[in-house]
Amino acid sequence: MVSLSVSLTTFSHSQLLHSGAVLSGLQTMAFFTHQVIRGLSSSAVRNAAIKHVTIIGGGQMGAGIAQVAATTGHSVVLVDTNEEILKKSAKGIEGSLKRVVKKKFADKPDAGAEFIAKVMANVSISTDAASVVGSTDLVLEAIVENLKIKQGLFGALDKVAPAHTIFASNTSSLPITDIASSTSRLDRFGGLHFFNPVPMMKLVEVIGTSATSQETFDSLLAFSKALGKTPVSCKDTPGFIVNRLLVPYMMEAIRLHERGHGSKEDIDIAMKLGAGYPMGPFELLDYVGLDTAKFIMDGWVEKDPDNPLMQPSEMLNKLVAEGKFGKKTGEGFYKYK
């Protein structure tokens, strides 16, 4: 369209006035050119694979996603405000890859070393998100579960990221719609909820809002598959699929114990042996983090205070208030040495 506009300026005012046929022809050409460009642009967006990924957050989730993306040939920039965290993350990724090598390249040490070097070459680190998003296809956030902080991050990056860049959040509990509201790219915003530990867990919940375009959603599905994951499509509802079922189950286990209807040990054994679950609800709560479980429930209670499945637990609140978050603090429902 720019070249067409330039060609129009080469016609003098009198030529345009006395050549209706030429003007009509140019208008027709402009219409069809516009349609062709729109078609090409849409096709390019539809078919463009995500190759360059910027991951915000150097914690366990962010580092895990970075490892998987780098292993599958994506160019990854891992961003955090703390350089020490980034160095620790990079070291953690390399350590995780060494464990992979022990299994996959047990008899081929040279091939294993080459594999690690190749994956690590796909990973770079930065403390300045705004400076690295200029050529990225996807910005994926995996930071603290705080709506205002997430909105502030995406609002700032929206001003500097290219128009084609897709934004996504790894939130496990906050509405994607609320996070996206700080940006002007509502059609290019979605959710990618990974599970911990990311290199091991196969599932990714792909969340679309009412404003997420089909092209964006398809790109997020394709990206998840390119990582070797199995994606499931989710609506932007509290907890999406897994946590919407899992968190009420864990909370009901706590209430069962609070009522004196079962010890935590017996409840865990019952669910492992009776339902075939690898962990009981109290073991799982300690693994996930009692603070995380409380945060999710508090958010749900605020949104839907009359829902009996989303009522708080005095026992959970007491443990969190005492700083007993589970395995990461050495004590939760169980004690860890």
Catalytic residues: 172, 193, 205, 243
Q: Is 96 annotated as a binding residue?
A: yes
Q: What are phi and psi of 311, to 5 degrees?
A: -85, 145
Which helix (H) or strand (E) covers residue 247, if one does?
helix 242-258
Please list the residues that pair with 207 across neighbouring strands. 191, 234
Q: Is 150 annotated as a binding residue?
A: yes
Q: Is 75 annotated as a binding residue?
A: no
Residue type, 258: E
Q: Is 59 annotated as a binding residue?
A: yes
Task: Give the number of other Cβ atoms within 10 Å of residue 205's Cβ.
Answer: 21
What 3-state DSSP class applies to 203? Answer: strand
Q: Is 57 annotated as a binding residue?
A: yes
Q: Is 225 annotated as a binding residue?
A: no
Q: At what angle do helices 2-9 and 20-47 cross, to 10 degrees?
A: 160
Q: Is 103 annotated as a binding residue?
A: yes
Q: Is 252 annotated as a binding residue?
A: no
Half-sphere exposure of 314 (CA within 13 A, CB side): 4
Q: Is 289 annotated as a binding residue?
A: no
Q: How far is CA 260 from CA 82, 120, 257, 266, 308, in A?
A: 46, 52, 5, 12, 19
Q: Is 104 annotated as a binding residue?
A: no
Structure tokens given for 306: 């009359």
Question: How many angstroms separate the CA atoms of 22 and 15, rounded?
Answer: 9
Q: Is 145 annotated as a binding residue?
A: yes
Q: Is 27 annotated as a binding residue?
A: no
- The sign one gets for the Cα dihedral 207, 209, 210, 216 is negative
- The sign one gets for the Cα dihedral 123, 129, 133, 134 is negative
The binding site consists of 57-62, 80, 96, 103, 145, 150, 172, 196, 328
Binding-site residues for NAD(+) sit at 57-62, 80, 145, 150, 172, 196, 328
Q: Which residues are annotated as a binding site for CoA?
A: 96, 103, 172
